[in-house]
Chains A and B, each alone.
Chain A
Amino acid sequence: MSLDIAPPPDRIGVVEPPTRGPLARRPAWLSQHIGTAAIGAVAGYALGHYLGNTIASGYVHVQTAAENDLAVVLGLALGVVGWLLGIGVFNYPIAKMFGRKPAEVPEAANWTRYVRMSLDHKTVGLQYLIAVFTFLFTGGLLAMAIRTELLSPTSHIYGPGTYISIVGEHGTIMMMMASSLVVGPLGNWLVPLMIGSRRMAFPRIEAASFWIFSSGYFVILTALPLGGFPTGWTGYAPLQTQADVGMDAYLVGFFVIGTGMILAGFNLLVTVIHYRAPGLTWGRVPVFVWSIIATSALLALATPTLAVACYFGILDRTATTQLYVNIHGGNSYLWEDLFWFFGHPEVYIMALPGFGIVAEILPVFTRKPLFGYRVATAGMIGVALLSFFVWQHHLFQSGIDPAMRPLFMLTTELISIPTGFIYLVGMGTLWKAKIRFEVPMLFALALYFNFLLGGVSGVFLSDVPVNVTVHGGFFVLSHFHYTIMGGLVFGFFAGVYYWTPKLTGKMLNKKLGKLHFWAMFIFFNLTFFPMFLIGLFDQPRRVFEYANRLQTLNDFASVCAFLLGASFLIFVVNFVWSVFINPVATAPANPWGSKGLEWQTPTPVPPYNFERIPVVLSDPYTYGEVGAPPVADLTGAAFATVGAPPRPVDGGSGAHTYPPAGGPGQDQ
């Protein structure tokens, strides 16, 4: 193993870095952090903009500097490269390229490690947490702006261009956020702990994926000073080709975020496959990790299509290729197909981690084993597989070959079968349980409540005759907010309340947590349920003018949306007070009495997680099972018992070798 990863735990902190030579630690003023990244980004943007103007200012279609797409695209692209150079993502490959030994930068001991490139998955996880909250609250504020405009059907607060830019920014930022909402913070933080690994498979790629993700935030926000983009988050093509330079920020932004998603998914997938602790057979892998496997597979396989689609769009706008322009040999359906071929798996990228979290949480708060473990994993894998075969249901009214319509109706409706598995698992686990209504449990139950409406309304949308009425209207809008916000975001908060004691060492306040839950749950439903009706009563999406008769419903939704937004403030207050201000409430190592492997570690989790690689003895759902072994042996005693395998408790055949020969891929 390379030298900068995982020294033996007894030597952590003992080795002093040399003061001279290539391995020397840089002086403080030369060290790399978010400030140097920002300098790199600005310098990169300036260079790219200059290059673009130099190259393209003579083009016929570039009349003024403000129309020079190439300058904007190169500026943003080099800005991202400068950001990554500035934070140090390329240090290692560059040093290797020149045959030098890469400089070793030890992890900072204080908070400054969160503004530097870190190879520790726990630091990256918390960096992701901060980033997704930034995305979430930015997108949320934009949602408030949308609902403010929709208070009145005819009098306006913004111009139509500003309004449509706000809508597009809201959608794009939220989609970017949601695709990493769980996989980024909780996936990176928890997966190595849950599988008994000391690190991710590719820590540098993990860090790179985070810094790419964070740069995407700034890229997509530059669309606003560049004039915004009129296409919404779907970016449909002839409009995209027609739009002003703000569109370039959308295309580059999605390309950049997509790259980060591919890397993150790939990294997590390899980690789970190769870094499981001895004894962690596929039948014992926690169900949250299964959801991350399914999500990562989608991230790694579906997102390249998005990158290609964005790349084509960029070419159309800068190099005047005509890939999306019908009259010059291109095709506007090409964007629709490529985009939704990514876009529908993306929807499940945003749903599966939520399922995983609640399935992981339910056994803890019902004190029962997870019901139908195999059904749960089959459901997640099934949803992931089927999600590649449904994308044309977004194109039911597009005029694409109608003969395909029944097929896509079938595949879309079939996906509700594996999704139903998730409900079977949840309901089976609740059967005759001993339910404790802690805050995470409340959010987990709310997911089952909300997602049901989202899922069932999806069946209405998949039915082509009904789709004629509800397609492209507020019904769709309500449907996907019920699945993404009602599902994923509620699941995410369940996870945040559940794992924060482990992540930060502090318990979140229970009273404020319950207040947050009830406010969010009630006003979420009051905001989005009326939108089903608004959609049925003929209000299309993304409009700033609507029928007078719909004002009451819209105003009601708007007021509830403001209160929904306010409910997030309760969370912020709770989080800041509990984690940063309240000095007393230090969390015990395992406050919920969970059997999960991640809870068996001390809090705070030491660097490199485990003193010894644990030997997993059971799945983490043995609640109430008399004589069940502990989830894992953390002391190494089990090595003495090799040759006397305990029977697996997951109902398997008992034929597992134990521990598995070789213990795949463990470092050291």
Chain B
Amino acid sequence: MSQVVGGDGAVGSVPVDEQGGRRPNHVWRIVGIWVVLSVVGDLVFWFVAGPHVPPGTMTTTASGAQFDFNVLFVVALPVILGVWTYLVYAIVMWRASRWVGEGDPVRGPTARSNLKVQVAWIVTTTITVLAMFVFGTVELIVPAGAGGAEGPNPVWTPASKSILPIQVIAQQWQFTYRYPTFGGMETNNLIVPNDTTIAFHVTSLDVIHSFWAYQLGVKADANPSVDDVAYTKTRQTGTVTIRCSELCGIWHGAMFDYGKVVSKAEFMKWGIATEKALAANTKNLPPFAWTYVPDANGASGVYADTSGQAPYSKTQKYGATKAAQKIVKSPTTVTTTATATSSTATATSATTSTATSAIRKLTRQASGTTL
């Protein structure tokens, strides 16, 4: 190589800053600027912006997402600043207008490759990437899927013994919610108790939607004939924005509503009252199931005024893939008992616990998995 290329620095064309006695150490200059910018940037981000990063801290998964985003950002910012610092430095320092002398820069073979630099670059990026992967995997598995969709057979489940199941039914273009532990009642608004582990069972009656409970840090696609499960644990009360985040047809943009996280006692009160109020309606609903196959009367996906039609056919037998009637019954009984003893949080927890364990048992049987 050197034969053809000529010796390193054989011809005296050097940039202006290398003439004379002191050669500036570009590496240390760039590193210096980079370290200062990165440290300042990371600290400012972590302490000023970090606590406000979406999706907030309303649930464990939301806090987890916020923490993960912040960690990734703190790693990513120095990467971005490093490249930018270098580019800006190069643009300022090594422009042709600062060049004196004739001809092109001659650097010899080092201009073509530099083993040390290349190995260092590859090793550094590889370590960074692998570290991010390990971090991401831990943060995915430990919080039981981190609020993301786990499909009908979740591999990572919360340790909690009392999990409140809530079914999210998506259809063009709204979400409705069924509470199997309250007689399978169906509501238009999501009400969630605070300080509770929740399993969202997301399904669709027509096309693919995506249930995005923004502040809860939960997102799960709603697929027809699929029971898509996502877990979270609430930690604060407040309002929740729910949007569909998978294009589902022309009114996709209008498919949103608002939910609430309320205290356990309030939730219990609301649940029992609503179950009673909706009892007549619930009777007409298809029995609670993990998935539904709508008939021509309901959610056929035609954009037309369906306000006059019943959402479900009274006569049609819905294609429940797993028997669920039994599940609904026992918690209902328990709930009634709880009402009689004017229960509060403890009773709720007991209620949901019974229901959940029953459901989980059935799910396990149905899916043939062992946990």
| Chain A residues with CB below 8 A from B79, complex form | 452, 456
* Docked pose: A622 CA to B6 CA in angstroms: 11
| Chain B residues with CB below 8 A from A456, complex form | 76, 79-80
Which 8 A-B pairs give the minimum distances between C-beta atoms? A626-B6, A624-B104, A543-B253, A472-B245, A399-B228, A465-B146, A367-B104, A326-B225
Could you list 16 A-B pairs, sorted by A, with CB under 8 Å? Answer: A236-B208, A368-B111, A399-B151, A399-B226, A401-B151, A434-B105, A435-B96, A453-B80, A465-B136, A468-B65, A468-B147, A469-B69, A471-B245, A536-B54, A545-B253, A545-B256
| 19 additional contacts (CB under 8 A) given A327-B293, A628-B4 | A239-B208, A332-B223, A368-B104, A369-B112, A373-B112, A375-B118, A409-B136, A410-B133, A431-B111, A434-B95, A436-B96, A449-B84, A460-B69, A464-B136, A468-B219, A541-B247, A543-B243, A624-B105, A624-B107
Interface flag for A569 (CB, 8 Å): no
Interface flag for A88 (CB, 8 Å): no
Q: Are B121 and A538 in contact (CB under 8 A)?
A: no
By beta carbon, the residue of chain B nearest A370 is: B112
Shortest distance from the beta carbon of B109 to any chain A beta carbon, whole Å:
7
| Chain A residues with CB below 8 A from B307, complex form | none
Q: Are A416 and B125 in contact (CB under 8 A)?
A: yes
Shortest distance from the beta carbon of B233 to any chain A beta carbon, whole Å:
14
Q: Are B106 and A471 in contact (CB under 8 A)?
A: no
A466-B241 contact in complex given A472-B246, A626-B6, A628-B5, C-beta closer than 8 Å = no
Shortest distance from the beta carbon of B296 to any chain A beta carbon, whole Å:
13
Q: Contact mask B50-77 → A, CB, 8 Å, 1/0?
A: 0001110000010011001100110010
Interface segment among A8-16, A112-120, A421-429, A510-518: the answer is A421-429
| Chain B residues with CB below 8 A from A562, complex form | none
A242-B221 contact in complex given A231-B247, A629-B4, A649-B1, C-beta closer than 8 Å = no
Shortest distance from the beta carbon of A118 to any chain B beta carbon, whole Å:
39
| Chain B residues with CB below 8 A from A303, complex form | none
* Docked pose: A368 CA to B65 CA in angstroms: 45
| Chain A residues with CB below 8 A from B126, complex form | 417
| Chain B residues with CB below 8 A from A445, complex form | 87, 91
A417-B149 contact in complex given A239-B207, A326-B223, A473-B245, C-beta closer than 8 Å = no
Q: Contact mask B228-262 → A, CB, 8 Å, 1/0?
A: 10000000000001011111111111101000000
Interface flag for B371 (CB, 8 Å): no
A-B interface pairs (CB < 8 A), number: 314
| Chain A residues with CB below 8 A from B132, complex form | 413, 459, 463
Interface flag for A211 (CB, 8 Å): no
Q: Are B220 and A397 in contact (CB under 8 A)?
A: yes
* Docked pose: A536 CA to B99 CA in angstroms: 45
Contact with A423, one of B83, B114, B219 (Cβ below 8 angstroms): B83
Interface flag for A542 (CB, 8 Å): yes
Q: Are A417 and B217 in contact (CB under 8 A)?
A: no
By beta carbon, the residue of chain A nearest B215 is: A538
Q: Are B146 and A464 in contact (CB under 8 A)?
A: yes
Interface flag for B103 (CB, 8 Å): yes
By beta carbon, the residue of chain A nearest B156 is: A402
Interface flag for A3 (CB, 8 Å): no
Interface flag for B145 (CB, 8 Å): yes
Contact with B54, one of A396, A397, A469 (Cβ below 8 angstroms): A469
Interface flag for B122 (CB, 8 Å): yes
Contact with A372, one of B26, B86, B113, B156 (Cβ below 8 angstroms): B113
Q: Are A242 and B207 in contact (CB under 8 A)?
A: yes
Interface residues of B, dominant DSSP: mixed
- Give the bracket for the number of chain A residues in contact with chain B: 35 or more
Shortest distance from the beta carbon of B347 to any chain A beta carbon, whole Å:
32
Q: Are B253 and A544 in contact (CB under 8 A)?
A: yes
Interface flag for A274 (CB, 8 Å): no
Q: Are A405 and B247 in contact (CB under 8 A)?
A: no
Contact with A452, one of B4, B80, B155 (Cβ below 8 angstroms): B80
Q: Are A397 and B151 in contact (CB under 8 A)?
A: no
Shortest distance from the beta carbon of B9 to any chain A beta carbon, whole Å:
11
Q: Are B5 and A465 in contact (CB under 8 A)?
A: no
* Docked pose: A238 CA to B222 CA in angstroms: 12
By beta carbon, the residue of chain A nearest B75 is: A459
Q: Are A540 and B212 in contact (CB under 8 A)?
A: yes
Q: Are B105 and A232 in contact (CB under 8 A)?
A: no
Interface flag for B224 (CB, 8 Å): yes
Contact with B121, one of A424, A545, A647 (Cβ below 8 angstroms): A424
Shortest distance from the beta carbon of A610 to any chain B beta carbon, whole Å:
24
Interface flag for B342 (CB, 8 Å): no
| Chain A residues with CB below 8 A from B168, complex form | none
Interface flag for A537 (CB, 8 Å): yes
Contact with A460, one of B76, B83, B99 (Cβ below 8 angstroms): B76
Q: Are A430 and B87 in contact (CB under 8 A)?
A: yes
Interface flag for A311 (CB, 8 Å): no
Shortest distance from the beta carbon of B253 to any chain A beta carbon, whole Å:
3
Q: Are A239 and B96 in contact (CB under 8 A)?
A: no
Contact with A414, one of B129, B137, B202 (Cβ below 8 angstroms): B129
A239-B5 contact in complex given A409-B136, A466-B69, C-beta closer than 8 Å = no
Shortest distance from the beta carbon of B223 to any chain A beta carbon, whole Å:
6
Shortest distance from the beta carbon of B83 to any chain A beta carbon, whole Å:
5
Interface flag for A448 (CB, 8 Å): yes
Interface flag for B298 (CB, 8 Å): no
| Chain A residues with CB below 8 A from B246, complex form | 236, 472
Interface flag for B286 (CB, 8 Å): no
Interface flag for B270 (CB, 8 Å): no
Shortest distance from the beta carbon of B216 to any chain A beta carbon, whole Å:
10
| Chain A residues with CB below 8 A from B249, complex form | 164, 230, 239, 242
Shortest distance from the beta carbon of A429 to any chain B beta carbon, whole Å:
8
Interface flag for A20 (CB, 8 Å): no
Interface flag for A101 (CB, 8 Å): no
Interface flag for A646 (CB, 8 Å): yes
* Docked pose: A428 CA to B116 CA in angstroms: 12
